[in-house]
Structures are given as C-alpha cells and as structure tokens.
Amino acid sequence: MVFQGHEAAIFAPLFSNMNMGVRVMSDIAAGRLSGEELAENFADIHPPLDAKSAHIEASRCYFCYDAPCMEACPTGIDIPSFIRKISTDNVRGSAIDILEENIMGGACARVCPTEVLCEGACVRTAQEGKPVTIGALQRFATDWLMEKGEQPFTRAAKTGKKVAIIGAGPAGLSAAHRLSQLGHDCEVFEALPKSGGLNEYGIADYKVVDNFAQKEVEFILGLGGITVHHGKKLGQELALGTLRNDFDAVFIGSGQGAVQALALEGENIEGVFNAVDYIADLRQTPDKSKLPIGRRVVVIGGGSTAIDIAVKSKRLGAEDVTIVYRRGAEAMSATDVEQKFAQTNGVKIKHWMQPVGIMSDNGAVSAVEFEYTKQGPDGKLIGSGEKTTIEADMLFKAIGQLFVPDPVSGTAAQLELKHGKIAVDDSYATSLEGVYAGGDCIDGNVGLTVAAVQDGKKAALAINDYLAKK
Amino acid sequence: MADLSYNFAGIKSPNPFWLASAPPTDKEYNVVRAFEAGWGGVVWKTLGEDPPVVNVSSRYGAVQLNGQRMMGFSNIELITDRPLDVNLEEIARVKKNWPDRAVVVSLMVPCEEEPWKRILRKVEDTGADGVELNFGCPHGMSERGMGSAVGQVPEYVEMVTRWCKEHSDLPVIVKLTPNITDIRTAARAAVRGGADAVSLINTINSIVSVDLDVMAPTPIVDGKGAHGGYCGPAVKPIALNMVAEIARDPECRGIPVSGIGGIANWRDGAEFMALGCGSVQVCTAAMHYGFRIVDDMITGLSNWMDEKGYRSIDDFRSMAVPNVANWNELNMNYDIKARINQDSCIKCGLCHITCEDTSHQAITATRVEGARLYEVVDKECVGCNLCMLACPVDNCITMERVDKDKPYMNWNQDPRNPFSTAAE
C-alpha cells in the first residue's frame, strides 16, 4: 500500500483538538518553545571552522598514498590533495579539487554520513579513533569559494545538443552541470516550486542553515546553459516519449515519489504522518513556532529520516519522543553517530518492537500498540506475541521511501524496472535508447546525496559519449 | 633525588637551567620573576657603553609549522637599550637578593682594550658571578664592528678574551657565533685567549619569511626588513653539532660549554649535557610560554636522572661524546632492514610512496582481497630509515639488524674503498 503526495493539510483540523485541563485526547500544539529557543534549536549544529582551526585540522592529515578516505568517497574526491591545499592557504585550489568531482561538495560536506564514508576510512580512525574532520574541511573550502561568488568552471564550445533532465535534485543538477560544462544545453524539469531536491525539502534544517540549498543551486546554475522549469512532473505535464522526440538525450533523476506504508488499520487517521512530508513542511516554514507538534511523539523506522523527524520533534518542543525499530541497533540504517545524536537530543530509541495497531480517540491517534519481536532461527523477524502500548499524540512513519513507477512505465515508452526501480547498466543507460537515469530512482542506489551526485556526473559523461556517437 | 646543582667554570647554580642573554633578562623585574619561577641562573642582556642603543619597533619574526607557533624565531633587536648605570644597579641588587642563583653579565663594547677594561671593573662591582662576551650578535651590532664581527675573526676573539682575563678575576665565558665555517676555530681562539668557558650557539643569520603582499622580509619595519638572528627549536640540531665539534676537539678538551639553541624542555637540555654541556641556556621557549616552563625542566631532568641512576649532572655529562664519530669510523658491515608490523599498520601508504618515489623501490603496495598491503623487499632495502621516519605510527616500522658474524670494518678498511688501508 502506498500513500502519495503531501499531507500537510492534515494539520488544520488538529488544532481543534487542543484541550486544557482534563485528559488531553490529542495534545498537538504549535509554539511550544519561545522564538529564541527555536532559533537556537534550528541553528547550525556543526558551525563552520575558522581559518586557524581549519589549518590545524588540515595539518592532521597524513597525505596518504592510495588514501582509504578517497576510496570511501562515492564521488572519488582527491581528499588528501584538497586538505593539503587548505594547509597551504591554497583554498581556491582546494575547493576546485572538491567541486570538480562533486559539484554539490558544499551540501555533501554538511549532510554526508562521513562516519561511514571518508572519515570512517581515515587512517587516523584506525590509529586513534579520531579521524581528520574531512567533512568540516570540505565545508571550509567550498564555503570559501562560494562566498567569493566565483564560478570556477567554464563551458566547452557549444555542441548544439540538447538534453532533458527530469528532476532538479542532486542527481539532475549534477548531470546538468557536467553536461553544460561539456557544451550541451540542458533543460531541467522539476515538479516542485524549488530546485535542490532533498537538499531543499528533505535534509534537516540544522544541517543546511541560511538557505544553503538555494545558494548552491544558484552556484550550479551560474555556469550557464541550464534552464530549470518548475511545476513539471513526469506523467502529468511531461511525457517521456515527447521528451525523447524533442531532445537528443534524457536523464531521469526524479527520486522517489512515495513512502512505505505500515499496512495497519487506522493509518489514515488524524495524527498519523509521513515523516518526509512533515520534514518538507518544516523546511519550508521559516517560522518554526507555527508548526504543530505533539506532546508525545512516536516514530517508526530505523533510518536517517526516523532520526531527523525524532530530533526535530524534540527541538520543536515535544516532551516524549520515541523511535521504535523492529530490529536491534546494529541493523538500523541510521549510523551509530546518528543514533547517538538522537539520544543526546533526548530521543528514546526502542528496539525489537513492531507496530501492530493504532489506537484512536475521537478519530485521532492516541497510542500505538507494539509487539515485541525477535530474530528467528532463519534470520527472519518473528513476533513474540507479547505486546505493549506507547501513548502518542503524533505518529510518524519513517520506514522508507518508494519509487513510483507509474509516471515512467505507464507511458508508451516502457522503461524496464528492477526491484521496483529503474534498471540501468554500468553507464546509467536505461532500457530505452538515449534515456539515462541516476539517483534514488535507480536500482542499487544507496539513497545518499553524494551517491546521487556521482550518478549524475557519471551519467553525464556517458550521455556525452552517446551524443558524440549519435 | 638527583642533585641538579652545578658548578660551571666557578659559577654555581642550583640547577643547570639558565636564561640566555636576551629580552627576558633585560631588567630586574623580569629576572626576579624568573628566579621566583625557579631558574638556576641568568645571563643578563648584553650591556654596552653609554649612550645606550636605540631599538626599532617590530623586532621579532617566526616560522610556524602545522599550527605549531614559533618553531623558529628571529629577532632584529640590539643589546640593552637602557643606561648602563641602571642595569648595573639592578644587577647588584638582584645578586644580593638571590645569592644562590647564577648572575652572569653579557658584554659587548668596541674592540679596544680600554672600553673592555672600564666595563669589566663596573661589572665586578656588582657582585655578578661572571661575564659572557657577546661575540655572536649577527645584526645591527656587527655592522658597528662588534658582536659577530668579532666572533668571525679568531684573532679578535683571542685578543679580547685575553684582555678580559687580564683585567678581571671573573670567570669569562666566550659566546660563539654559528655564522662561521668551522666553529672550532673560534672556540680554539677563545681557549688560547684563556677563556674559562664557551657558550653556543648565538643566533643564525636569517630571513624567517617574506611577506608576499608587502614583498619584504619579516619582521617588517615600515616596508623593509633586515636579516635577523634565528633561534628556537629549529636551530637545535645545528647547535648540537657545533657543541659536539667542540667537545671532541683535542685543542678545546675540557673547556666548559654552556649549551644554547632551541632548548625548550628537560630532554633538550639532557641532550646538550650528553654532548658535554654543564649548563644550558634558554630563551625562545620562555618567550613563547613564560618562565613557568622551568618547572618541567627541573622535575623532568630530575626524574629521568633518578630513573637512570645518575646522581649528578657530571654522572652523565659527555657520555655521548665518544659515540660522535667521523663518517669513516662507522661500521660498513652494519646492515639493517625495515620491518613493518602489519598489525599496527594503518595503511597510509607513506612508507611505500616515499621509498618508491624518492629512494630504493623497496616497499611494495599490493591489495589482498581489496585490503592494502605494504611489504618490504629485503633485496632492495638499504636500511636508510626513511620509511620509519615517515610512518606516522610509533614503532610500526622498525629496523632489524641482519648482518651476522661480520666483523667491524670501517671505510678505511673496506676493500671497496680505492684508498683502503686493508691488508689484502
């Protein structure tokens, strides 16, 4: 079962449930914290390094040969090289090292789970458990360049070729930037009013403060040769067949349009939300005091989205926030660092419990019933039969997103799918000639910004080869 | 508890750590603070004739390395810029109030007998324990025919030293300049002149950096800079070598040496002492952190001596001198190979790339099921130590001795030497 679309409209009727004094049936309220508290809670969680600290941190890098960090970076940034350049005050050179491989190096510096990527592989992690803070250094270098307002890249001579790009998220913009550099003109079609994809609509506020996602979009578009059209959704305003006719090649970077459902009775009642929808609303609401949040919040899921919505709930003023995950901590896709971050924010994480029922009061969620789980002899999860209940004014579902195949597969032009997502070969080519895809919508993608950027970059190079032969 | 007191050429101090003649010893105020902190002695900042010199504004420059400040330090300051009488009065009072500490007075006057005679008499009246002849200052004073202008001419060194010995009963320490081809020539001249001791090194001619915006050497004085005197941790290796050269020179045998040059902690001091020094002098480290660093120097040296069973400085002083050899005395049959402890290897690859790019291609880089593996090729390894030095993990790379049952054979005895004196 799949729910689609934005469910923000659900907020409105909830306000009427507010009730002072006697037992509160559904205690959901906006403005639980003062403006100052909210400003502090949604400020940059990792303030940028100043020049001195960056120099000292850069000097901790051993400048490894065949550096493990570089191998761990999905975009293959020459990390030792960019760090050395920071230490010598060649910050421009450093930033270009990063951006040449990853045009969203600024966003990735802020949102990458570095503990399982570059910093996890840093030899200092093996040596002393304290990696060079590569993410913070990457932010230092890319911020420096972006603050200069400089566009370090130029376009090759125009090829006269046009490429359609579906989705203005990390994959689409990365592909567009590389294609434009190579001399091709790009038209990007985006369903939402803003570009940036999950950088704009999905990442936690306190990771990308000061409207960073839009600044980065402007930086990328500053190269020229890229036009973005908003309000254009594949399957609605756009048809793949038409795009294939009108353009020399097509790149699909449309992400995943839906979320997984719990498949429980009452999933549609008041107080039950898709975490990604709420997060999108939160990102688009500058005045956080306008956001209603429950006194008691339950989050179901084990990934980054579960962590994000739980921490944000807490930071909006929720009193009790509990993440419930059906397996143990090690099985959560949220990293150790993310789990600890949630816990230090006062979020409780409960393991080995799966939801079996949603209880309601006056049509709104009042509690969630869980069954304790355990791992069966074959590794499969089994219910123990034992049950417990956690009271909740709000229930967030964060058990994963789904690719919606209909818009692309439902057209005359049939795209082959694999595991419910678009199937591509090693060069990101789909089953349709001239149509390439990357990012969260393709099979095998791990769901990270950095992976989407790499997909876009590699697909752009493949499209360039294709156009040269066409 | 080890006894740290030392009698250096007749100058007694409760510990061997002295502050060198420099800004920290320019005034009673500073010197009293130093003694309160525990310093064993001071060499008062160089006195000259009145009228006193005038200093410029902007006097120091520094080399920073990987966030560490003042790895090297440079100054263009001259000798004391306070009137002679003021300094002498303060020296007398300090010595009276701190009788157990060494108070040595640094001197620099024109290269004529009368001025030396005059100033020595005045210093003697203060009750100071000795004098140090500043033949080393490389900037400003040397252009006036003093400082290193004297120190670079052995005949002048000998002549002035002799005057001082003739006109004073105070112990005379001759401070040597490193801005010279062979430090032994100046040291021998001091010995011939009757010096009671030598101290070294004074600062090294230097430009610590060039400001690429102003396009001038630092420190910059209104758009221009002059060469300065270099000191601090960066110069310690140069100082150690010069101290060792004197320590093993037959003509200088037995001359007390006060070591100076980049000494920042007890271990640095102990190294100078192992090469023959009886006292050591400190400046840059104090100018970086303040006088309280002496506490670590005293307790660190004392703890190390206790651990080693040395009861006094002389118990270990000069112990490394016999092991400072000429190259042609080294054992050509000695053979070591690098050994990589794979369990502590963190896979930085530096051992491989340094050897591959710049040395002997003796460390291979391979992958075993994806994992990096760095291994030594014994056949190619010459035992140069480079990989061990580049490796960021202590004791991950060690050098193992592999020559077995081979006798000592130096280059003079080596048949590969065309001028070999070997029997065959």
Q: Domain segments of chain A: what residues?
A: 2-31+258-400, 51-147, 162-255+403-469
Which residues have C-beta within 8 Å of that of residue B51, sequence separation ≥ 6?
Answer: B83
Question: Rounded to an integer, what distance in angstroms lies between the CA atom of residue B269 and that of residue B16?
Answer: 9
C-alpha A198/C-alpha A203 separation (Å) is: 6
Closest CA to A99 of A177, A168, A211, A188: A177
Read off the tokens for B362: 């003796």
Chain B nearest-CA residue for A60: B66
Please give the backbone phi and psi of residue B200, each rounded to the nearest 5 degrees, phi first: -165, 155
Write out chain A residues lying below 8 Å of B350, CB-based.
62-65
What gap in Å lies between CA B294 and CA B41, rounded to an integer? 11
Res B422: pLDDT: 55
Nearest to B372 among A59, A62, A66 (CB): A66
In the predicted structure, residue A461 carries a pLDDT above the cut 60:
yes
Q: State whether residue B33 is helix, strand or coil.
A: helix
Model confidence band, residue A327 (pLDDT cutoffs 50, 70, 90): very high
Could you say which residues from 204 to 243 on chain A have a Cβ atom under 8 Å away from some Cβ of chain B? none
Average pLDDT along chain A: 91
R_g over Cα of chain B? 25
State the Cα angle at B393 between A95 and B304, rounded to 5°.
125
Residue found by looking up tokens 């190096």 in the block: A105
Q: What is the mean pLDDT of residues A233-250?
A: 91
- Residue whose structure tokens are 């304790």: A372
The closest of B394, B376, B341 to A127, measured between CA atoms, is B394
Interface of B with A (CB under 8 A): 66-67, 346-350, 352-353, 365, 372, 392-393
Task: Spell out the SS3 assignment of B128-163.
Answer: CCEEEEECCCCCCCHHHCCCHHHHCCHHHHHHHHHH
Q: Does domain A162-255+403-469 have CATH number 3.50.50.60?
A: yes
Asked if residue B163 lies in contact with residue B198, where contact means CB atoms within 8 angstroms, the answer is no
User: Token digits for A432?
Assistant: 């349709």
Whose CA is closest to B130, among B151, B107, B146?
B107
Q: Which architecture does CATH list for A2-31+258-400?
A: 3-Layer(bba) Sandwich (3.50)
User: CA-CA distances (angstroms) from residue A93 to A58, A90, A97, A333, B54?
Assistant: 14, 5, 6, 35, 45
Residue A5 has pLDDT above 50, yes or no: no
Which pLDDT score, from 0 to 100, does residue A379 have?
87
Q: What is the DSSP string of A2-61?
A: EEES--GGGHHHHGGG---SS--SS-EES--S-HHHHHHHTS-SSPPPPHHHHHHHHTT-
The reply to whether domains A2-31+258-400 and A51-147 share a CATH topology is no
Complex ipTM more than 0.85, yes or no: no
pLDDT surpassing 70 at residue A8? no
Nearest CA in chain A to B345: A127
B355 counts as catalytic: no
Output the six-digit token pair for A128: 């002393």
Q: What is the pLDDT of residue A268?
A: 87
Percent of chain B with pLDDT over 90: 93
Could you tell me which CATH number the domain at A51-147 has?
1.10.1060.10
Cα separation, B170 vs B130, whole angstroms = 5
What pLDDT, on a 0 to 100 scale, did the predictor assign at position B383? 97
Contact A308, A274 (CB under 8 A): no
- Residue A319 sits at φ, ψ, to 5 deg, of -85, -50
The residue from B111, B137, B231, B348 that is catalytic is B137
What pLDDT, on the 0 to 100 scale, is given for residue B217? 96
Counting as low any pLDDT under 50, the low residues of chain B are: 423-424
Residue of A nearest to B349 (CA): A65
Distance CA B332, CA B37 (A): 49
Model confidence at A81: pLDDT above 90: yes
Other Cβ atoms closer than 10 A to B210: 13
Tens of pLDDT along A331-384? 999 999 999 999 999 999 999 999 999 999 988 999 999 999 999 889 899 999
Which of A65, A132, A137 to mutate: most B Cβ within 10 Å?
Answer: A65
pLDDT in tens, A114-162: 999 999 999 999 999 999 999 999 999 999 999 999 899 999 999 999 9
Taking CA atoms, what residue in A is nearest to B367? A66
Q: φ, ψ for residue B206 (rounded to 5)? A: -160, 155
Q: How far apart are CA B349 and CA B367, in angstroms?
A: 12
**For residues A141 and A449, what is the distance between their CA atoms, to the nearest angstrom?**
19
Give yes or no for A254 touching B (CB within 8 A).
no
Q: What is the pLDDT of residues A86-125, one digit of tens each?
A: 999 999 999 999 999 999 999 999 999 999 999 999 999 9
What span, in angstroms and rounded, lies between the C-alpha atoms of B260 and B336?
34
Per the CB < 8 A criterion, the answer to whether A449 and A213 are in contact is no
Query: Residue A61: its chain B contacts at CB < 8 A?
Result: none
Burial class (CB in 10 A: 0-12, 13-18, 19+), B404: exposed
For residue B346, which residues of chain A lie inside 8 Å, CB to CB? Answer: 123-124, 126-127
Reply yes or no on whether the pLDDT at A13 is more than 50. no
For chain B, list the domains and their CATH numbers: 6-323 (3.20.20.70), 329-401 (3.30.70.20)
How high is the pLDDT of residue B67? Answer: 74
SS3 assignment, position A72: helix
Q: Is B313 helix (H, G, I), strand (E, B) or coil?
A: helix
- pLDDT per position as a tens digit, B346-377: 999 999 999 999 999 999 999 999 999 999 99
pLDDT of A413 reads: 56
Distances (CA, A) of A460 to A164, A168, A381, A427, A435: 11, 14, 41, 9, 11
